Amino acid sequence: MNTPLSVQPVVMAGGSGTRLWPLSRAGFPKQFLALTGKHTLFQQAVQRLAAVAAPEFSVGAPLVIGNEDHRFLVMEQLREVKLDAGASLVLEPSGRNTAPALTLAALQATDDGADPVLVVTPSDQTVADGAAFTAALRQAVRVAADGAICILGIKPVRPETGYGYIHANAASHAEVSNVRAFVEKPDAATAQRYITDTSDGHYFWNSGMFVLRASVWLAALERYRPDILAATRAAWAGRKNDAAFVRPDAAAFAAVPSESVDYAVMEPCSRGSASDATKVRMVALDAGWNDLGAWDAVWQATPKDGNGNAVVGDVLLHDARNVHVHATSRLVGVAGVEDVVVVETADAVLVTHRNRSQDVKQIVAALGHTGRGEQNLHRKVHRPWGWYDSVDAGARFQVKRIMVKPGASLSLQMHHHRAEHWIVVSGTAEVTCGEKKILLSENQSTYIPLGETHRLANPGKTPLEIIEVQSGSYLGEDDIVRFEDTYGRH
C-alpha cells in the first residue's frame, strides 16, 4: 500500500487590507471579516485547503503565517471552524513581504525532517466554485510532488489593470501548462490584448497561490536569493515556542531583505534555461475567484438584485442602480444614485464611486497622518477573552459594553488614573478587587477604586456582559499595569 503524500496547508494572514476601510482596520483586517458568507475570508481559505484531502494525500493541520497583534484572532477563528487542533502560528516580528514569510513556513514544515508539499494561499480571497477549486488544487499538488513549482493562474473574465499576469502556454481548466513569464500590471490596452489575442499563448491573473515542496522552495531561494535564506534561517534559529505560537528572533528578522515570492524566485525560475532543476508550472483555475482588493471587487462578488444592487445589513434603496451598501449598526437609506459604494460602521461612513474605490487608501493615509484612531481599531475591539465596545465618552468619563467568553478572564491589573464601576447585564461575574473575590449576577454592581488591583472573570457557561463606567483624569488603553495574564500579554 502506497504511503499518502504529505500536504501542508499554509495560509498567509499578515495583511492589513486597508482598501476595505472602514470595515477593515489595521487591528481587524479584511481576512478576518465575513464579506461573502457566514465564514470569514481567513476561515474560507483554511477550509478550502483542508478540502484537498483525498486517499492519496495526507493533509496536515493549518500552518498560519501571521503577526503578534492578530494571534488570538487567528486561533479563535480556527476554533470556530474546528480546524485548530494541531494548528501552528508563526508570528512575523515585522512585515518583510511574502518571500521571507514562505521561508518561515518551509523551515517550520521541515523542522522534523519531513518534506511536505506546501499549499500556500493568501487569506483574503474568495472562490465561488469550491469543487472546481479543489480539483485544480489536487492537480497542482500532483505536479508539485514531482519537484516543480506550481502556481494557480486565474482565467481572466475581464481586462484587469490591477493584477499581475502569468504568460503561459494554452491551458484550460485544471490543465497543466508551462509558465513563460510573469508580467507586471498592464495598462488598459495591454490588458485588453491579453484577453483577446491568444496567438502567442494565454495570459492568466496571478492568484498568489503556490504549491511546491518545502525543499524545492529552500533550494530555489538558495540559488536566487541566498541572502534572504541566510537571514531568515538566522531568525529561525533564535525562535521561541509558546504552545501553538512560534516567534522567530525579532532583531534577526528585521535584517531579512524584504521581497516578494514572485521577484525572489518565481520570475528567475521562469526565465531559467532548460537545464535548470526547478521548473514553474501553472494549473488554470476557473472557479469564480476574487481577491476582494477593493470595494468594487466586493460588489462583484456579492449577490445582487435586478438593478445590480448589492446590500448587506439594514438598507433601504430607492431608484438606485449598481450600488454596494454595507450597513453594520443602523439603517442606511440610499436614493437616486448609481455606481456608488456606501459602507457604514459604528464610528465611520465611507461614500465613494465604485470606479474610485481604490482611492480609499488615500483616506486611510490621511487618518494615519492625523493620528486618528479610526485607522487602526473599530469602536468594538476584540480581545482574546471577548470584546469591548466604547459606547460613549466625554470629559473624564467613558462607558464601555464588555463581553467575556465562558471560562475566560481579563488580566489581573490596576490603573493609575481611573476608577471603574461595573454593572452586570447578563451572566455571572467573578470579581477580584484587592484581597476580596465576589460573585455578581444580573443587575448587581461593584466599584473598583483608582489604583486597586482587580480582575474580571466569567466562571459560567454563557457569555458575561457588563457595562463599565470609567472615570478619571486619563482613560487611555495604555493605563493598564498587568500583574498576571492568561494569554501571555505584557
Please say whether the beta carbons of 9 and 211 come within 8 A: no
Domain shared by 350 and 442, yes or no: no
Domain containing residue 328: 295-370
Domain shared by 350 and 335, yes or no: yes
Domain shared by 223 and 349, yes or no: no
Whether residue 139 is contained in a domain is answered as: yes
Domain shared by 366 and 250, yes or no: no
Measured distance CA(111)–CA(344) in Å, rounded: 46
What's the CATH number where 430 sits?
2.60.120.10
Whether residue 129 is contained in a domain is answered as: yes
Please say whether the beta carbons of 166 and 216 come within 8 A: no
Domain count, the chain: 3
What are the distances in angstroms from CA 101 to CA 110, 133, 229, 233?
Answer: 15, 24, 11, 12
Domain boundary among 250, 268, 290: 290
Cα-based angle 210, 216, 220 (whole degrees, multiple of 5): 95
Please say whether the beta carbons of 92 and 67 come within 8 A: yes
Cα-based angle 46, 206, 202 (whole degrees, multiple of 5): 130
Domain shared by 251 and 316, yes or no: no
Please say whether the beta carbons of 205 and 167 come within 8 A: no
- The reported pLDDT for the residue numbered 415 is 96
Whether residue 312 is contained in a domain is answered as: yes
> What is the residue-level pLDDT of the chain in tens, covering all 490 positions?
578 899 999 999 987 778 899 999 988 899 999 988 889 999 999 999 999 998 999 999 999 999 988 888 899 999 999 999 999 999 999 989 999 999 999 999 999 899 999 999 999 999 999 999 999 999 999 999 999 999 999 988 888 888 889 998 866 555 788 888 888 888 889 989 888 887 777 899 999 999 999 999 999 999 999 999 999 999 999 999 987 899 999 999 999 999 999 889 988 887 765 445 568 899 999 999 998 889 999 999 999 999 999 999 999 999 999 999 999 999 999 999 999 999 999 999 999 999 999 899 999 999 999 988 888 888 888 888 999 999 998 899 999 999 999 999 999 999 999 999 999 999 999 999 999 999 999 999 999 999 999 999 999 999 999 999 999 999 888 899 999 888 776 6
Domain shared by 363 and 408, yes or no: no
At residue 305, the 3 state secondary structure works out as coil
Whether residue 489 is contained in a domain is answered as: no
Please say whether the beta carbons of 329 and 346 come within 8 A: yes
CB-count burial class (<10 Å; 0-12, 13-18, 19+) for 55: exposed
Domain shared by 328 and 417, yes or no: no
Please say whether the beta carbons of 33 and 70 come within 8 A: no
- The reported pLDDT for the residue numbered 376 is 84
Whether residue 396 is contained in a domain is answered as: yes
Whether residue 191 is contained in a domain is answered as: yes
Domain shared by 364 and 417, yes or no: no
Angle separating helix axes 226-237 and 214-224, nearest 10 degrees: 120
Please give the model's pTM, rounded to 2 decimal places: 0.88
What are the distances in angstroms from CA 188 to CA 35, 159, 161, 193, 298?
Answer: 28, 7, 6, 9, 21
Please say whether the beta carbons of 183 and 203 come within 8 A: yes
- The reported pLDDT for the residue numbered 174 is 53
Measured distance CA(161)–CA(241) in Å, rounded: 42
Report the sign of the C-alpha dihedral through residues 159, 162, 167, 169, in that order: negative
- The reported pLDDT for the residue numbered 478 is 85
Domain boundary among 252, 275, 290: 290
Give the tens place of pLDDT for each residue, 191-231. Answer: 898 888 877 778 999 999 999 999 999 999 999 999 999 99
Give the tens place of pLDDT for each residue, 74-88. Answer: 999 999 999 999 999
One-letter identity of residue 286: D
Closest CA to 48 of 154, 121, 149: 121
In a 13 Å sphere around the CA of 91, the CA atoms on its Cβ side amount to 21
Domain boundary among 270, 290, 310: 290
